[in-house]
Amino acid sequence: MKTVIAVCLGLFSASAWAQAAPSCPTLPASAGLQWEQRADASFIACKAITADGRQILNVMLTSRDPKIRLERRLREEESTFSGEEIYWYKLDLGGQETIPAMASRRITVVELGDDQYAQVWINADSAQELSSMISLAQQLDVRAASAQLSAGN
């Protein structure tokens, strides 16, 4: 009987944890993408995957400052993410930013609040796909998920 009670309590606590675990923001059904998620107490990593298995949009929510330096010379599009004004940046590839395959890839870091950050990057294959992913990123709201992260871990 004690074993049955222990198992039931274990299932209950696992169920409660699963309900409390933060999750990736909702993707519009029209996007044709699906999240792959990985999370722990200090981060949530969300990878938007196309039907053919390509990672096109990545969002990492973290309670640690990523300390990624984004250089003004690489600044491109002005936009918003989760209600915050941002700039998208070309990737810093040690002077090789002009490689054609990198032209439609972008990164940004957003401070959402005290000990709440979002690193967002786009791996688009074309200027049209880049524009589409920037528009999609503008629709994402990550504040609820990022607020659940443990600060200082």
CB 63 within 8 A of CB 150: yes
- pLDDT of residue 9 exceeding 90, the answer is no
Say what the pLDDT of residue 14 is. Answer: 40
Say what the pLDDT of residue 50 is. Answer: 94
Q: How many CB atoms lie within 10 A of CB 24?
A: 21
For residue range 65-113, list pLDDT tens digits in order. 888 889 998 999 999 999 999 999 998 777 665 677 778 999 999 999 8
- pLDDT of residue 18 exceeding 60, the answer is no
Say what the pLDDT of residue 19 is. Answer: 44
CA distance 115 to 64: 6
CB 133 within 8 A of CB 33: no
Ranges assigned E (strand) in the chain: 34-39, 43-49, 55-62, 75-81, 84-89, 105-113, 116-123
CA distance 50 to 58: 12
CA distance 65 to 114: 10
Q: What is the average pLDDT across 18-41?
A: 82
- pLDDT of residue 60 exceeding 50, the answer is yes
What's the token pair of residue 95? 């002077």
Percent of the chain at pLDDT > 90 equals 49
- pLDDT of residue 152 exceeding 60, the answer is no
